[in-house]
Structure 1
Amino acid sequence: MALAVVVAPAAAEGRLNLYNWGDYINPEVLQRFSEEFDVEVTLDTYGTNEEMLAKIQAGATGYDIVFPSVWMHDVMFNLGLLAKTGIGSHPDFKNIDQTFIRAKTDPQAEYCLPYAWGSVGIVYNKKVVDTPIKGWADLFAVAEAGKKVILLDDPRETIGIGHIMNGTSVNSVDEEEVVKATDYIIERIGDVSAFTYDSIPLVQSGDVAAAHWYVGANIFVSQMPDILEYVIPEEGATIYQEDMCVLESAPNRENAIKFLEFYLRPEIAALNVAQQMNGTPNIPALELIPEEIANNETIYPPQEVMERLQIFHDLGEDIRLYAREWRRLKTAAQ
């Protein structure tokens, strides 16, 4: 369910409407922009790339900025949904690590701004598991031992575990490889308690031993360090990245571009990291973030760990193969 948040100074003259992942931007960032530029900012939230795209395609023309994952950035570009902003030519774009210009359709960052990134791993309750979880094999061993575990309700992330364990690419479009990756999960499906995004409260309470989740779990780990732990699986994992994009249909395009430029400021990117506990592509911002975040290797992994992380690509029509296998997996789970 989307949550609407409104941030506005008294008698604001301008408007800016954001559509972002749930709880994925520090409200103080919005407040500062609102006050500096005399703009009323509204925020609606979504849970998946597909949900966001469906709403935009269904005619939701009131939004100015969306935050698609890199592969969805490519999809939306090809559908003609993104506005050219020229953000890559802004003088402050020098702050952005070029490694994070990942969208194949936007190699010069003429459309979107790299926003945030992180790993997708495992969060677990240290009071419930008998030994520390280090990887996917450990997660399924915990499940096999009779303790509850949860996987994400996401076709590519969950089938991706099968790819990682089989040594194949999470972007494979080889039918045999995708089937085998799905089979890996189906063979263990009887030990999986649920497929959902809403797992953190269950892990916190101990009702669930461990869950497949995002690096943002560190927010909860910091609140309950004696109980919770987040790990990047030793066998490998996926890495996500979201970009900040202005819609071609944006009713407040000028304010939207101002917001992209505002977010280039190191102190603003750092402010977001301090609350979200994920990675930022903004190089100078790294000097401004809290030391406990900068030194947390699950948030900023060493190079040898980064090399084991895979990012999803737009698969075009081949995504139907994953949709078919996801249906087979979910049927097996019933």
Structure 2
Amino acid sequence: MRSRYLIILLVVILVFAALFAAYKLGYFGKKATLSVYNFGEYVDPSVIEEFEKKYDIKVVYETYSTNEEMLAKMKAGGNAYDVIFPSAYMLEVLIAEGMLSPLDHDKIPNYANIDPMFKGLSCDPEDKYSAPYFWGTVGILYNSDLVDDTVDSWWALHNLKYFGKVIMFDSMRDTIGLTLKMLGYSMNSIDPGEIDQAKEVLIRQKPMVRSYEIDAYKDSLLSGDAVMSMAWSGDAFMIISEHPEFKYVIPKEGTGVWVDYMAIPADSKNKEYAQKFIDFMLSPEIGLKNTLAVGYSTPNDAVKGLLPEATRDNKAAYPDGNVFEGSEFGKDLKEATELYDQAWTEIKSK
């Protein structure tokens, strides 16, 4: 009899141990989680809250500053993200290295809202791994009350008259790439001589640069500590809407059109809700709220149709025709990335 009780007690202990382990692993008793990894200041927090309420799920939200930072974190392991937001050239890298999971478009019906102009691009020609999130340009944002020269060239950022008042991006691809454009080359150049020329120009410019930033340039411009900066188009439109003394220009040498995407890493632990999240973000109502909050151009036709008329008619944000004609699209540089890494290290170390 005693042995029977001991057996029963042992079974009860084992059952409770198994239940506790299942609880700790999140199989029951706790909300499921979705891990989202995005650029900083690149989503309306309220839409994350709405997703959590709709699906009774906890979103663990982390941010990064550059595509390279995101890639390094993913390769280091230890964090299995469910949704990430790579730019086009980084999307190519992730696909080539087998780091993404294909999307199931049957589970993302709102993908149909995407403007055909943003489908079938070179970074994901079959639209197999990604859904466009936002797009835009890089230009120069300046305070017209404090800058009395014509600003129509990337060379304006090298004007010694504004020594210590200029901000450049802390982004290897953008800063080197657009300096290449300034010199008359492709922003995707893999020519060592051209990349070296861009490096030397940026090294000569460095003493007059106030700082290299990704997001903080906005505060420096608004405070007057800086008078001009490389800028993302969405940031520029948001600042100009409240401070009309600021102007945004796309320099005459040209610029790059960028597209950021939503994608699911191959090691995602919650692909089902990752696809629900992407579909949620592509829905007209949520997409509208997010676009108005973030300020960037949407590739979502259903959202664009709901935007205020003044926003839709802003030709800097929504130009007529194909936005990729006459502009460059960032590409995976493959082995030549090392040339950019070396140049950037030299620039930042001077």
State which structure, 1 or 2, has the greater radius of gyration over its C-alpha atoms: 2
Paired residues of 1:161 and 1:181 also in contact (CA < 8 A):
no
Deviation string, structure 1 residues 235-258 (Cα, Å, up to 9, x no partner): 211222111011111122111011
* Helix, strand or coil at the partner of 1:167: coil
- 2:192 matched residue in structure 1: 175
| 1:113 maps onto 2:134 in alignment | no
Give the alignment partner of residue 281 of structure 1, picking from 294, 299, 302: 299
Which whole-Å CA distance do the structure 1 matches of 2:223 and 2:79 have between them? 41
The 1:310–1:60 alpha-carbon spacing in structure 2 relative to 1, beyond 3 Å, is farther
Say whether 1:59 aligns with 2:49.
no
Query: 2:335 corresponds to which residue?
Result: 317
Output the CA distance in 2 between the equivalents of 1:12 and 1:300. Answer: 44
How far did residue 261 of structure 1 move?
1.8
Q: Secondary structure at the match of 2:86?
A: coil
Deviates more, 1:161-170 or 1:101-110: 101-110
Q: Per the alignment, do residues 328 and 67 of structure 1 end up closer, same or farther by CA in structure 2, a change over 3 Å counting? A: same
1 CA distance for matches of 2:37 and 2:304? Answer: 26
User: What is the Cα deviation at residue 106 of structure 1?
Assistant: 3.0
Are positions 1:188 and 2:205 aligned together? yes
Confirm whether residue 155 of structure 1 aligns to residue 155 of structure 2.
no
Aligned partner of 1:127 in structure 2 is 145
After superposition, residues 1-334 of structure 1 pair within 5 angstroms as: 13-87=31-105, 90-101=108-119, 104=122, 106-131=124-149, 133-141=151-159, 143-146=160-163, 148-197=165-214, 198-217=216-235, 218-226=237-245, 228-303=246-321, 307-331=325-349, 334=350
Distance apart, 1:90 and its partner CA: 4.6
d(CA) in 2 for partners of 1:317 and 1:156? 14
Q: Write the distance in 1 (CA, Å) between the matches of 2:323 and 2:125.
A: 25
Question: Bigger shift: 19-28 or 292-301?
Answer: 292-301
C-alpha separation in 1, matches of 2:162 and 2:91: 41
Q: Which moved more, 1:249-258 or 1:265-274?
A: 265-274
CA RMSD of aligned residues (A): 2.3
**Percent of counterpart pairs with the same letter?**
35
Kept in 1, the 8 Å contact 2:117–2:322? The answer is no
* C-alpha distance in 1 between matches for 2:173 and 2:52: 37
Tell whether the 8 Å contact from 1:144 to 1:191 is kept in structure 2 after alignment: no
How far did residue 146 of structure 1 move? 3.7
Q: Which residue of 1 aligns with 2:16?
A: none
Deviation at residue 201 of structure 1 after TM alignment = 1.0
In structure 1, the gaps of 5 or more residues are 1-10
Instruction: Give the superposition deviation at 1:14.
Output: 3.0
SS at match of 1:188: helix
Distance in 2 between residues matched to 1:291 and 1:134, nearest whole Å: 28
**Per-residue deviation, 1:119:** 0.7
Q: Give the secondary-structure state (helix, strand or coil) at the position aligned to 1:133.
A: coil
Contact 1:66 1:245 (8 Å CA) reproduced: yes
Give the Cα separation in 2 of the matches to 1:239 and 1:118.
6
| 1:91, distance to aligned residue in structure 2 (A) | 4.2
Q: Which amino acid aligns with 1:178?
A: I
Deviates more, 1:57-66 or 1:310-319: 57-66
Question: Counterparts of 2:124 and 2:323 in 1: how far apart (Å)?
Answer: 27
Amino acid at match of 2:266: E
Q: In structure 1, what is the Cα distance between the partners aligned to 2:302 and 2:316?
A: 20
Measured at CA, do residues 306 and 150 of structure 1 come closer, stay the same or move farther in structure 2, by a change above 3 Å?
same
Give the distance between the partners of 1:236 and 1:207, measured in 2 at CA: 27
Alpha-carbon distance, 1:85 to partner: 1.7
- State the Cα distance separating 1:278 from its structure 2 match: 0.8
The answer (yes or no) to whether the contact 1:88–1:108 under 8 Å persists in 2 is no
Aligned residues: 320
On the 8 A contact 2:111/2:282 being kept in 1, the answer is: yes
Q: Deviations over 1:12-32 (max 9, x none)?
A: 843212110001011222122
Cross-structure match for 1:3: none
- State whether residues 163 and 169 of structure 1, in contact with CA within 8 Å, keep that contact through their aligned partners in structure 2: yes
Q: TM-score, normalised by structure 1?
A: 0.87
